[in-house]
Amino acid sequence: MLKLEALLLVAGLLTVTAAPGRCAETATADDTAQFLAGLAPAPDSPLTALTTDPLWQRHARHFDSLFARKDSISLAKIREFSRRQLPNKRDTMLYMFSGPDFLYATSFFPNASTYVLSGLEPTGDIPQLTTLRRPAIDSALQNLEGSLNSLLSISFFKTNDMKSQLNVGPVYGTLPVLYVFLARTGKTIHHVSLVTLDEEGNVAASDQSGSAKGAIGGTPQYRAKGVKIVFSDTNHSNQTLYYFSTDLSDNGVRKSGFLEFCNKFGASDSLIKSASYLLHGDRFAKVRGFLLDHSTMILQDDSGIPVAYFNFTKWRLQPFGRYVGPISLFGRRYQAQLTQLFHTGNSIALDFGIGYRWRRDESNLLLAVKKDAN
């Protein structure tokens, strides 16, 4: 009898330890974002127990250090730049070719009621950490650190890094990165849903992943799919973030519904940064024309719309920083007309670095404001 009881006791212990990291409860999106960002979730969250793990605590210290440094070196200065140089902002801001870079979107345009981000990077599934074993969670934390390293260090995502890092493991895609940026900028997430667009730009719920793994770097064979996130902070009531995984080339936007969706918001502000100079070529003429037609203000580095496309009778252009030409990878995209503008346009100094020329004394921005904007 004692032998049987002992066997039952051992079996019970094996049952408890066989599935570490699993929990029947579901964590909220906000608690998940806090946890992934290295911040403490709510005390009653099923994720709180996982924060005692040394690997999570190391992750939290690592992100504390990275984000504090990023804020000191650039983000705090960008917020001040926004306050002084970007008056009369619109309710909607468009950030095409952004990938999951909500960090710069909210730093330059903190008061937008709607953010629309887009890129080829997959959205992924809504993370459900309580269904994962502990090794998978640890791997997700390490992968997030690798995914964010370049943006937090030099101001832009490296495409080759994203091709591998955003497609790894059960917690993949842009959504975990968006979660981290929302949490680390003091946002509270209220609702998250996967969405898709029809050809007229109407939004519908999607019960599928925002994008299949492996889609990045290729041409997605579907209409625009993405995620809608409703959030708030201490200074704003509900704001909305959309991210769409979609091909922004002329062929891609022809039937994706993405530009039709953006058009529904009317006049918008636009941010273009580290965009691989795609808007310099003919394959992205539709998006370039859309931004010029529908934006009342465009803030961009030199990888955005070439200055030759701005009609000086319609746009007021203000250069910031110093234009020294593209990095060698994009050397053919040098703009002589932009050089002239920086020499004669009373350029205002920048106290932060941005774009491919991320060192402060080499960075440039161009603010284009429509003269007839109300």
In this structure, is residue 27 part of a structural domain? yes
pLDDT of residue 154: 59
Residues 356 and 303 sit within 8 Å (Cβ to Cβ): yes
> Chain-wide mean pLDDT for the chain?
87
Going by C-alpha positions, the residue among 32, 19, 26, 257 that lies closest to residue 124 is 32
Rounded to whole angstroms, how far apart are CA atoms 183 and 241?
13
pLDDT of residue 3 exceeding 80 = no
In this structure, is residue 175 part of a structural domain? yes
Name the one residue in this structure whose structure tokens are 């809608």: 228
pTM for the whole structure: 0.88
pLDDT tens, residue by residue, 58-90: 999 999 999 999 999 999 999 999 999 998 899
| Alpha-carbon separation of residue 170 from 126, 173, 211 (angstroms) | 10, 9, 13
- Say how many residues make up the chain: 374
Query: Cβ atoms within 10 A of the Cβ of 34, count?
Result: 26
pLDDT of residue 167: 62
pLDDT of residue 103 exceeding 90 = yes
CA angle, 149 then 96 then 74, to 5°? 40
- The range of the structural domain enclosing residue 78 comes to 22-266
| Alpha-carbon separation of residue 239 from 11, 112, 165, 208 (angstroms) | 50, 7, 28, 24
Beta bridge partners of 230: 191, 240
Least confident of 221-225, 341-345, 353-357: 221-225
Which residues, 6+ apart, have CB-to-CB distance to 304 below 8 Å?
Answer: 272, 273, 275, 279, 298, 366
In this structure, is residue 334 part of a structural domain? no
pLDDT tens, residue by residue, 111-129: 999 999 999 988 999 999 9
In this structure, is residue 260 part of a structural domain? yes
In this structure, is residue 361 part of a structural domain? no
254: confidence class by pLDDT, cuts 50, 70, 90: very high
Domain count of the chain?
1
Residues 211 and 244 sit within 8 Å (Cβ to Cβ): no
Average pLDDT on 31-44 reads 97
In this structure, is residue 56 part of a structural domain? yes
CA angle, 254 then 259 then 260, to 5°? 95
Average pLDDT on 318-340 reads 95
Going by C-alpha positions, the residue among 297, 229, 223, 230 that lies closest to residue 267 is 297
pLDDT of residue 372: 87
Least confident of 162-171, 339-348, 355-364: 162-171
In this structure, is residue 173 part of a structural domain? yes
Rounded to whole angstroms, how far apart are CA atoms 8 and 238?
53
Least confident of 95-104, 107-116, 161-170, 227-236: 161-170
pLDDT of residue 363: 96
pLDDT of residue 148 exceeding 60 = yes
In this structure, is residue 50 part of a structural domain? yes
Q: DSSP string covering 233-283, please?
A: ETTEEEEEEEEEE---SHHHHTTTSHHHHHHTT-SEEEEE-S-TTGGGSGG
pLDDT of residue 166 exceeding 90 = no
Pairing assessment for the beta strands 295-300 and 236-245 based on DSSP bridges: unpaired
